[in-house]
Amino acid sequence: MTMLKDPSQKYRAFPVINLPDRTWPSKTITQAPIWLSSDLRDGNQSLIEPMDAAKKMRFFKTLVQVGVKEIEVGFPSASQTDFDFVRELIEGGHIPDDVTIQVLTQARDDLISRTFESLKGAKQAIVHYYNATAPSFRRIVFNQDKAGVVQIAVKAARTISRLAAQAPETNWRFEYSPEVFSSTETDFAVEVCNSVIEVFQPTPAQKLILNLPATIEAATPNVYADQIEYFGRHIDRRDSVIISLHTHNDRGTGVAASELGLMAGADRVEGCLFGNGERTGNVDLVTLALNLYTQGVDPELDFSDIDAVRKVVEECNQLPVHPRHPYVGDLVHTAFSGSHQDAIRKGFAQQKDGEIWEVPYLPIDPADIGRDYEAVIRVNSQSGKGGIAFLLEQEYGISLPRRMQIEFSQVVQKETDRLGLEMTAEQIYSLLEREYLQAHVPYTLKGHRLQEENGTSAVDVEVLSAGETQHWRGIGKGPLEALVAGLPAAVEIMDYSEHAIGAGAHAKAAAYIEIRLDGQRPLHGVGIDENITTASFRALFSALNRALREADAKAA
Ligand SMILES: CC(=O)SCCNC(=O)CCNC(=O)[C@H](O)C(C)(C)COP(=O)(O)OP(=O)(O)OC[C@H]1O[C@@H](n2cnc3c(N)ncnc32)[C@H](O)[C@@H]1OP(=O)(O)O
Ligand SMILES: CC(C)C(=O)C(=O)O
Ligand SMILES: [Mg+2]
């Protein structure tokens, strides 16, 4: 087996639609479409292990909670499980008044009758039926010409109208899908749908849903948009029909096709959460909804706890959501690389509540969909100082001064290179402890006494070194200068800063000091203590010990 050198021997390009005055390219989507979830039908029919009743009920309740108002709950004539589930929904009173269930059937009288049986007693329901209309299906599946295929659709419409009239207690709505619409001659799709309209006689108050599936995605999404705009211009009684989209993802452009289809005038979208469904799946309703949201349009679906929704969907479908899946994947709000982390950290610092969202690299505020910021920045060997500083700030309230960020990021990078793994905030803090806060050798500060008089400070420190206690004394204009004067090495202070960690009685002080020892490269030290003077002394000892150790290592 091999790929063909000339694939045109086997595959042909999709013909373009003749619509030179198309208007959709300059349209924008300004309101949410009517959403229909086909997870319980389209998704379920394509699972290795179809959902059982308990899973279907759990999924149904999640859809209701999210705010989906039209839910295709199954294909009741196909299996007893689906039939019984529809009955359970109706008899158990599980369908809220503002939610309409929809069921699917082939355009066959026996299956339609069984479908109506399943819906007995429903307050409202959409009966959705379909037959394929594309040339290859006409020839291969039905062995019918165009007129024969129109007849299949019309005959079923008549049966549906008749059975609905016999059960007036239900508020019936009808949906027809010319299956494989996108591969059907658009004029013929219009012709079939107009014939169906003739039977149902829809009005602006009682609209017919015409669902136009890209059953198998076969062209670029602009072609689908042309087909939708063309259909909308030519269909009879446009004000009495709802044009519905149903895109699959065979070419990976299901979302794009639905978005362009909406720009081309469609009113409704069918799809599944996170894109489950036949083969490569149906269009992903979550992505579509959140794409709207990030354009400032209310999607009328609530994904403010997107991970909870994902959990239900994954458990019911027994399929994982990909880590790179838009909006919800584990890694999509995560930045590993240094320049991204730097920009995100600056963006968070500058972003103000109530203002337009502008944090670089994040198209959505993760908090809006129940994600927290901690997951946003993760550190591996590609990370820079920004991400490390962000994690220490967020998790431990530690704000490293800029030059120390650079120095510490080199320490972290050595460690991530050594480990070949990501480092968590906890591991980074441990490294900070090991490298700075526990830099007690060769000199461990055991205690100090400070006297201050007339702007002069005198410091006595007790130091443990190689098992022996030493006493140093220094005098200076402030405590730090006094301590530096008492050190047994020539130390130049390059920079000093401090800040509080936490607030109130449990607040601590963090002190950062940068020193240069005898003409060596500057190095930092860190000290944390309840007492700010003690914190600064600890920071100086931390820097001194690190500098002495580096000098020894160089000399060795
Ligand atoms: C694109 C989609 O996702 S469509 C929805 C797909 N989902 C399903 O099919 C649900 C599961 N299906 C089933 O369980 C079964 O197919 C059933 C119970 C619905 C029907 O089963 P069967 O009666 O055994 O028929 P089968 O599915 O094999 O269909 C083949 C026959 O139906 C005809 N047919 C297929 N689709 C349709 C249709 N939409 N309308 C009318 N007739 C159709 C075929 O031409 C074929 O007819 P033939 O036997 O005269 O050649
Ligand atoms: C039944 C129809 C709507 C369908 O699922 C499809 O064509 O993809
Ligand atoms: Mg489908």
Tell me the whole-structure pTM to 2 decimals: 0.83
pLDDT tens digit string along 195-217?
Answer: 999 999 999 999 999 999 999 99
Whether 375 has a pLDDT exceeding 90, the answer reads no
Q: How many helices (H) and strands (E) does the chain have?
A: 16, 14
Q: How many angstroms is it from 196 CA to the middle of ligand 2?
A: 17
CATH code, residues 444-555: 3.30.160.270
Phi and psi angles of residue 104, each rounded to the nearest 5 degrees, phi first:
-110, 145
For the chain, residues classed under CATH 3.30.160.270 are 444-555
Q: Is residue 374 very low, low, confident or very high in pLDDT (cuts 50, 70, 90)?
A: low
pLDDT tens digit string along 512-533?
Answer: 999 999 878 999 999 999 999 9
Q: In what order do the strands lie in the sheet with 523-529?
A: 491-501, 508-517, 523-529
CA distance linking residue 401 with residue 88, whole number of Å: 63
Q: How many angstroms is it from 399 CA to the middle of ligand 2?
A: 56
Among 13-17, 470-474, 536-540, the minimum mean pLDDT is found in 13-17
Q: Which two structure tokens, joined as six digits, stand for 393?
A: 């700030």
Q: Does 246 carry a binding-site annotation? A: yes
Helix (H) or strand (E) holding 101, with range, is strand 100-106
Q: Which stretches of 338-490 are assigned E, i.e. beta strand?
A: 444-453, 456-465, 468-476
Q: Does 282 carry a binding-site annotation? A: yes
pLDDT tens digit string along 224-269?
Answer: 999 999 999 999 999 999 999 999 999 999 999 999 999 999 999 9
Q: Cβ < 6 Å from ligand 1: which residues?
A: 45, 75, 77-78, 106-108, 111, 130-131, 141-142, 152, 179, 215, 278
Residue 443 near ligand 2, beta carbon < 6 Å: no
Q: How many angstroms is it from 184 CA to the middle of ligand 1?
A: 19
Q: What's the average model confidence in pLDDT over 399-418?
A: 93
- Least Cα distance to 41 among 61, 70, 71, 67 occurs for 71
Q: What is the 3-state secondary structure (H, E, C) of 190-203?
A: HHHHHHHHHHHCCC
pLDDT tens digit string along 420-447?
Answer: 888 899 999 999 999 999 999 999 999 9
What pLDDT shows up at residue 339?
86
Bridge partners, residue 173, by sequence:
126
Q: Does 128 carry a binding-site annotation? A: no
Contacts 24+ apart (CB under 8 A), 516-519: 516/491, 516/492, 516/547, 517/489, 517/490, 517/491, 517/492, 517/544, 517/547, 517/548, 517/551, 518/489, 518/490, 518/551
Domain 33-317 CATH (choose: 3.40.50.720, 3.40.50.920, 3.30.70.1350, 3.20.20.70): 3.20.20.70
CB 536 within 8 A of CB 496: yes
